[in-house]
Amino acid sequence: MAPGMEQFNNEPTTAFSSRTELAIDKLQKKIAFESLTEDQALAELAANKRLIIPGVTVEDILSELKKNGMLAAIQPKLIQEEPKIEHVETRYQKLEGVKEVNDPELLRKLEENEFMRELERRVFKTGELDVIYEKAIALEKDHTGETEEYYFEFAQAGLLKGGIEEAKTDLKALAERQAEFEAKNKTTDGKPSTIERAKKIATIIERGIGYSVSELGWYGKNVSIEPTSQFDDVKRSVDEVLEIKKQDEESSFMGLGIDVTYRGLLSEKYKDKFFKLLTSIRDGHKTKIKYFKNHAGEKMREFSVPKIILFFNIDDVASIARLIQNLNDPKVRAEFENSPQKFAVLNQIVIECEQLSLFAEEHKNDIFKKYTEVLSSIKELAWENEDVKKILDARHEDEVSKHMQYLIKEFKDTQLTEAA
């Protein structure tokens, strides 16, 4: 770890300095800077630009490495002799033909396009995305697709105050949002848009993780993950609900809303989703689920859930896709039962619930109680599940907790700046 990095969680630093140090901390897992000269480090950074946090340049990192004495002695060769490494913004400028790229929305689109190309090169070769997507959909208990009757069932069961008319109003709103989405992302060549492909990849992750938790028993028989309705996905931005049944309480239901992204922890997409969640909590809102059937298939009255953003990266996507492709192979299933993702996912859940509980309490949003209840329920699971106990015992201040604390601090700083 770079000198001074241990202060990241305890002492205030400038946002720029913290982000550069975080970038170095991440890159050190792949690059041994201490054994490299300045020109060698420059070459390594150029080769691994896609791993650099958005907003941090190669020059920023090189300057920080030199300042902290983290490079080997420089060879007689001058660094100026090396070709200048372009900023990411400059490369995008040439690709897009614009004078300057400082629009967050444009940067997210560029990031998405680059990420998609890498996924299709490494994971989803020609035609494989649709094949794996169909297999993922088939993992649902009822994969015939939602119809109007699905929503009307909730009205007929007396779970909607406005009855059938309320269900019809919700269906109309859903249809309008879907039409807007299709119009916005329609391509001229008839091929699926980047966003359409992205939704399929997200569904593959959701179903794969849901299957692992519910059917492979990652965290025991009292924990499952169920997909939400299209209404709750589109209108409430909740892809799945993690359901925890408390010990010795048959009627007890503890739910955690999950919004999935596969762009990774340091992506602009994750930051965007996380900031929207923080804004919602700050403003006193609660995420509600309206059309949900629990693991037992029971229709539930509308309820509020604490919500988290669960991230995955390219390696995670590749692993989940392999599981779905080979569900009938006992070796692959056995391998995934103890996949590192089993530990990474629960670690994310615990860290995010801890951080968001504190944030919600600070902003006087009583949803903090439900985040705390989820944490308590997970700790109860550890009493009878050795794997859960190991995960909780092994938790530490890792990249996830550091970056989440950084984002919360950046969000608060932004609010102070806007209020000034």
- Asked whether the predicted pLDDT for residue 388 surpasses 90, the reply is no
- Asked whether the predicted pLDDT for residue 125 surpasses 70, the reply is yes
User: pLDDT digits over 19-71, tens only?
Assistant: 788 888 888 877 887 777 777 777 778 777 777 877 778 778 888 888 777 87
User: pLDDT digits over 344-374, tens only?
Assistant: 999 999 999 999 999 999 999 999 999 999 9
User: pLDDT digits over 289-344, tens only?
Assistant: 999 999 989 999 999 999 999 999 888 999 999 999 998 899 999 989 888 899 99
Largest CA distance in the chain: 81
Structure tokens at 302: 């509308």
Q: Are residues 322 and 332 in contact, defined by beta-carbon separation less than 8 angstroms?
A: yes
> pLDDT category, 230, cuts 50, 70, 90?
very high
User: pLDDT digits over 164-202, tens only?
Assistant: 999 999 999 999 998 887 777 666 666 667 778 888 899
Round to whole Å and give the CA distance between 348 and 308.
9
Q: Find tokens 């990474």 and name the residue.
A: 344
Closest CA to 272 of 410, 84, 368: 410
Structure tokens at 116: 């998609």
- Asked whether the predicted pLDDT for residue 101 surpasses 80, the reply is no
Round to whole Å and give the CA distance between 346 and 391.
8
Round to whole Å and give the CA distance between 79 and 69.
16
Task: Output helix, strand, coil percentages for the chain, rounded to the nearest 5.
Answer: 60, 10, 35
Q: How many CB atoms lie within 10 A of CB 80?
A: 7
With b meaning 16 or more CB within 10 Å and e meaning fewer, what string describes 234-251? bebbbbbbbbbbbeeeee
Mean pLDDT of the region 133-155: 85
Integer CA distances (angstroms), 270 to 267, 276, 311, 318, 416, in order: 5, 10, 7, 19, 22
Identify the burial level of 37 via C-beta atoms within 10 angstroms of its C-beta, where 0-12 means exposed, 13-18 middle and 19 or more buried.
middle
Q: Are residues 304 and 255 in contact, defined by beta-carbon separation less than 8 angstroms?
A: no
pLDDT above 70 covers what percent of the chain? 81
Q: Which residues contact 394 (CB under 8 A, 6 or more apart)?
A: 343
Kind of pairing, strands 292-293 and 287-289?
unpaired
Mean pLDDT of the region 115-142: 83
- pLDDT at residue 165, as a whole number: 97
Identify the burial level of 107 via C-beta atoms within 10 angstroms of its C-beta, where 0-12 means exposed, 13-18 middle and 19 or more buried.
middle
Q: Is the dihedral of CA 241, 282, 268, 236 positive or negative?
A: positive
